[in-house]
Structure 1
Amino acid sequence: MATKKKKLTLISLILMIFTSVFGFTNITRAFYLMGYASILWYVLAAVTFFLPFAFMLSEYGAAFKDHKGGIYSWMAESFNPKFAFIGTFMWYASYIVWMVNVGSGIWVPLSNAIFGVDKTQYWSLFGLNSVQTLGVLAIIWIIFITFVSSKGLNSIKKITSIGGTAVALINVLLFVVGMVILLANGQMAEPLSVQAFFSSPNADYTTMIQVFSFMVFAIFAYGGLEVVGGLVDETENAAVTFPKGVAISAVIIAVGYAVGIFIMGAFTNWTYTFTQFTDTEVTLGNVAYIAMNNMGYQLGHALGLSEAVSVTLGQWVSRYMGISMFFALTGAFFTLIFSPLKQLIEGTPKEVWPKKLTAIKNGLPVNAMKLQAGIVIAIIMFVAFGGSGAQAFFKILTAMTNVSMTLPYMFLSIAFLGFKKKQHIDKPFEIYTSPIVTKLAVFVVTFVVGFANLFTVISPAMAGDYKESISSVIGPVVFAIVAWLMFNRYEKKQSTLYVGDHAQHN
């Protein structure tokens, strides 16, 4: 008797969504950029983008629970296949660069875990410089993740659960320690006032244009939910479990961000922490470790411990932060190394791809995963060993994908109108029952994402960096043209086959 394949339960689905979407660093970065005022923008991004979009994905997921292709299947059935292929391909391309980025960057939290500080700029293997060393480590990492993932979904599930649990624990630590410090001190470290919830303490975020750029940041903080669209067919009792999992995750994540930012103020005095506490320059890359180091330090003082013990406590909290982030990014990596690719290969017509790439083993497109690993490794090698020109190239590559990653959200929301109109699609779960509410939700989500992307494009140009602005536009255009050419080739092949078959029958 064949063993029954284990499916995702509600809890494991929520943990997977939580790991893919919730970024603990988004809390610390938001507080650094906007203080308490960031809560308003995070809530606004949740209400205008994340929640309505999550409910759309829930309806799609329940209706297409037996389709393996995730977002491609959804858009192809609801709108049209070419539109769906371009949106899905663009979205997939952005994850290739995510892997390059995180494959090299994951060593920063590991260094924090081991040493209490980031020492990656001093690492050297075989006489290589630090950039090349991180490149070699990233290549080994990609090979390792691809090898383990290709063994099937069960091995991935175990690791994403560790990742989700690690992130959950660091959040628990933030809330518990924040409350202990608040109770011990009897007041917030960052003074509360009505104005504090509307204006940033950061001089770089005072004008309307700068504040709009933060809205973009808030929307990106909710990205990644569509990745789990490919897991509908892997979910137990999908029509009920999937929409419930998405809805519960959406609310937990939105509330988690808002409460997390607020509790940061219990132990973080903005001016002291980000200007005097550290002797290193505060960046978006290291702000989480500085904030957590400060949390441990402030806990020591709140409990009446000596300066030396407080400093040590701060370093240990920073270490714990490093290990948690390492596990969280590992969990995200294990989901993202197969889920976008699985949607692209399994969802789209098989004839678009060379036959070898569509072969499925252990429920996953293993050959395609190997090719994906090869592409990621090639880019990492070029960036790590190509000198300053390659570094500049990577900056351009990242700019190219910023827009590509969220543009498909617009594709999905536009296709949702077609989905609601098509009566033949069985919809076992519906939140949008009124046509007016549906149109309003589609308009708001499309407008908010469109505005964020437009701003991402024009913002560098306003600061004089025209190259980055042009790159941001070129990325989606290049990916869209490649996808369009691939799908056109497939359509021509299909029409030739159809004409040939038709002629034979006559």
Structure 2
Amino acid sequence: MSENIKSKKKLTLIPLSLMVLTSVFMFPNVPRAFLLMGYAAIPWYILAAITFLIPFAFMVGEYGAAFKKEKGGIYSWMKKIVGPKYAFITIFMWYIGWLVWIILTCNSIWIHFSTIIFGTDTTSGWSILGMNSTHTLGLLSIIFAILLTLISTKGLDKIIKITSVGGISVGFINLVAYIGAIIIFIAGKGHMDQPLNMNTLLHSPNPAYGSAVSILSFISFAILAYAGIEVVAGVVDDTENSEKTFPKGVLMGSIIIAVGYILGIFACGIFTNWQGVLSGKDINMVNVTIIMMNNMGYQLATAIGLSHTTALVFSSWIGRLVGLSMFLTYFGALISYSYSPLKQLIEGTPKELWPGKLSEIKDGLPKNAMWVQCILIVFFMLIVSLGGQGASKFFDKLVLMTNVATTLPYIFMSSVFYKFKKNTSIEKPFVIYKSHTSSLIWTILVTFTVVFANVTVIIKPALTGDIVSSIWMIAGPLIFSIISILMYARYEKIISTQKHI
């Protein structure tokens, strides 16, 4: 009886594929890709799926199965393969990337909140107690970050409920975008606002992506759009007939993700002319989703015969619904990522690395560390919002520093895969790469893809005369590595002292 119940809980092909899809696919990546490259983003999404997404997912699947009893995730994998110091540098850099993402999203989420209330982004005119908009948004973001931590420390059951709302919201945005595009396409008798031909598939309408290096650098964006695939490593053991089901599920989920991004970019072209809608100076990576969906609402209303005035009202309400969905999506993601990367960092590493009671886990959460993280977030927000233009430039540098550092853990994880395969002392209950030759080929290909993406991202600003940005992107990983090495040296000193007592 118990065996039957247990087998029912195992993941089958379709649920596993859907898990891969929901872990990776983020709709905002679609309008952002269209903003940067138009239809020319499509070949790069396909290339990144073949050379990174699918083979890397198989790698982390093997890691996850081999180290399923370890709690530390990435740290545990790297520690067993190449040693604890390398492992700590990897996971520390991975965590820093998420920390900066939380800070950025706590600020940008107010654009979506504004859209819910007003139908458009009005944050540039916000003021509380006579403060300017920058100070006002800073104050609101600080309050939001504290509230976020307060909710997150209440327990995993509360977190699961909130993140499930975020997942439903993602589905809503996709439905609105794709169904709206289909109606507009049919009503327009196959007309596409952005012309589709071989030239538009190869060349970006964005002047910033006109050079060969800038076009090649887009693969970095595609890789980040596929980020999160490492989470499937934890479910290999919970997959029914994992040897056959897991690779099929990952492959199916990956194909659905890639096709979803590709169809989404085509859908954007149906109702958005790049020059007419996206060429303005006020369009950016944060507000482009709202702007494009507003435009979709207007196009949909006129396609079904509504008047210009009614179409504008309809467009505004589409914007509000999308703003609400985006707010809930990011709110759910922020709740999840306010604890999960930190938990993996704290739980997987030696407790002596962390001063005081930072390493304590209460109710399954590193609550003390979460409040220290909150203090760090508030500190950076205060610097940026109160420090004027100089502070804003400082934070821009911080973002540049994490651009490359965010993808470096993928290089670390993929580059040691061949060493992992050759280590006969590590039990490997789940194997996709059957031979050392195939393991070596895919180790080289995946690692080269991410290294190549980073190199092009680094040299792109320098080629346009912005050498400072390139330097900061190189400095980021170096600085974070030095910090992690110093932290690890302190830990080694503590351990050495304990041994001599």
TM-score by length of 2: 0.91
Q: Which moved more, 1:315-324 or 1:200-209?
A: 200-209
Shift of 1:313: 1.5
Name the CA shift for 1:8/1:130 in 2 (closer, same or farther; >3 Å).
Answer: farther
Contact 1:8-1:236 at 8 Å conserved across structures: yes
The equivalent of 2:439 in structure 1 is: 438
1:175 paired to 2:202? no
Which runs of 5 or more residues in structure 1 are unaligned? 1-6, 501-506
Name the CA shift for 1:235/1:117 in 2 (closer, same or farther; >3 Å).
Answer: farther
Structure 2 CA distance for aligned equivalents of residues 9 and 149 of structure 1: 27
Contact 2:94-2:406 at 8 Å conserved across structures: yes
1:251 paired to 2:255? yes
1:34 paired to 2:37? yes
Shift of 1:498: 4.1
Name the CA shift for 1:167/1:268 in 2 (closer, same or farther; >3 Å).
Answer: same
The equivalent of 2:451 in structure 1 is: 450
Name the CA shift for 1:321/1:79 in 2 (closer, same or farther; >3 Å).
Answer: same
1:428 paired to 2:446? no
Q: Which moved more, 1:288-297 or 1:204-213?
A: 204-213
Structure 2 CA distance for aligned equivalents of residues 16 and 476 of structure 1: 31
Q: After superposition, give the CA deviation of every residue in 1:145-172 in whole Å (9 maximum; x if it has no partner).
A: 2111112222111111111111121112
- Counterparts of 1:44-443 in structure 2, within 5 Å, are 44-189=47-192, 190-226=194-230, 228=231, 232=234, 240=242, 249-275=253-279, 281-443=282-444
Q: After superposition, give the CA deviation of every residue in 1:257-279 in whole Å (9 maximum; x if it has no partner).
A: 1111112222223333335xx8x
Which amino acid in structure 2 is aligned with residue 129 of structure 1? Answer: N
Name the CA shift for 1:409/1:329 in 2 (closer, same or farther; >3 Å).
Answer: same
Q: Which moved more, 1:428-437 or 1:43-52?
A: 428-437
Structure 1 CA distance for aligned equivalents of residues 20 and 328 of structure 2: 15
Q: Which moved more, 1:98-107 or 1:259-268?
A: 259-268
Contact 1:34-1:200 at 8 Å conserved across structures: yes
Contact 1:61-1:243 at 8 Å conserved across structures: no
Structure 1 CA distance for aligned equivalents of residues 337 and 19 of structure 2: 11
Name the CA shift for 1:252/1:32 in 2 (closer, same or farther; >3 Å).
Answer: same
Q: Which moved more, 1:9-18 or 1:326-335?
A: 9-18
Shift of 1:427: 2.2
Q: Which moved more, 1:232-241 or 1:263-272?
A: 232-241
CA RMSD of aligned residues (A): 2.5
Structure 1 CA distance for aligned equivalents of residues 260 and 237 of structure 2: 25
Which amino acid in structure 2 is aligned with residue 456 of structure 1? Answer: V
Structure 1 CA distance for aligned equivalents of residues 102 and 146 of structure 2: 12
Which amino acid in structure 1 is aligned with residue 105 of structure 2? Answer: V
Structure 2 CA distance for aligned equivalents of residues 340 and 391 of structure 1: 26
Structure 2 CA distance for aligned equivalents of residues 330 and 375 of structure 1: 19
Structure 1 CA distance for aligned equivalents of residues 159 and 18 of structure 2: 12
Structure 2 CA distance for aligned equivalents of residues 184 and 437 of structure 1: 50
1:467 paired to 2:468? yes
Shift of 1:339: 1.1
The equivalent of 1:4 in structure 2 is: none
Structure 2 CA distance for aligned equivalents of residues 217 and 128 of structure 1: 36
The equivalent of 1:21 in structure 2 is: 24
Structure 2 CA distance for aligned equivalents of residues 331 and 337 of structure 1: 10
Structure 1 CA distance for aligned equivalents of residues 370 and 251 of structure 2: 30
Q: After superposition, give the CA deviation of every residue in 1:197-244 in whole Å (9 maximum; x if it has no partner).
A: 222233332321221122222222222334x37x83899569959877
Structure 2 CA distance for aligned equivalents of residues 470 and 171 of structure 1: 38
**Secondary structure at the residue paired with 1:187?**
coil
Which amino acid in structure 2 is aligned with residue 204 of structure 1? Answer: A
Q: Which moved more, 1:423-432 or 1:60-69?
A: 423-432
**Secondary structure at the residue paired with 1:426?**
coil
**Secondary structure at the residue paired with 2:28?**
helix
Q: How many pairs align?
A: 489
Contact 1:55-1:243 at 8 Å conserved across structures: yes
Q: After superposition, give the CA deviation of every residue in 1:66-117 in whole Å (9 maximum; x if it has no partner).
A: 2111111111112211111111111111222111111111100111122111
Structure 2 CA distance for aligned equivalents of residues 222 and 156 of structure 1: 24
Structure 2 CA distance for aligned equivalents of residues 160 and 464 of structure 1: 43
Structure 2 CA distance for aligned equivalents of residues 133 and 244 of structure 1: 50
Structure 1 CA distance for aligned equivalents of residues 40 and 261 of structure 2: 13
Shift of 1:15: 7.2
Shift of 1:372: 0.8
Q: Percent identity?
A: 48
Name the CA shift for 1:156/1:242 in 2 (closer, same or farther; >3 Å).
Answer: farther
Structure 1 CA distance for aligned equivalents of residues 158 and 432 of structure 2: 34
Contact 2:65-2:236 at 8 Å conserved across structures: no
Which amino acid in structure 1 is aligned with residue 429 of structure 2? Answer: P
Which amino acid in structure 1 is aligned with residue 310 of structure 2? Answer: V
Shift of 1:492: 3.4
Structure 1 CA distance for aligned equivalents of residues 125 and 432 of structure 2: 53
Name the CA shift for 1:8/1:106 in 2 (closer, same or farther; >3 Å).
Answer: farther
Structure 2 CA distance for aligned equivalents of residues 477 and 115 of structure 1: 44
Which amino acid in structure 1 is aligned with residue 207 of structure 2? Answer: A
Q: After superposition, give the CA deviation of every residue in 1:283-303 in whole Å (9 maximum; x if it has no partner).
A: 233222221111111111211
Contact 2:64-2:236 at 8 Å conserved across structures: no
Structure 2 CA distance for aligned equivalents of residues 238 and 139 of structure 1: 45
Which amino acid in structure 2 is aligned with residue 218 of structure 1? Answer: A
**Secondary structure at the residue paired with 1:445?**
helix
Contact 2:64-2:234 at 8 Å conserved across structures: yes
Structure 1 CA distance for aligned equivalents of residues 195 and 235 of structure 2: 49
**Secondary structure at the residue paired with 1:489?**
helix
Contact 2:37-2:203 at 8 Å conserved across structures: yes
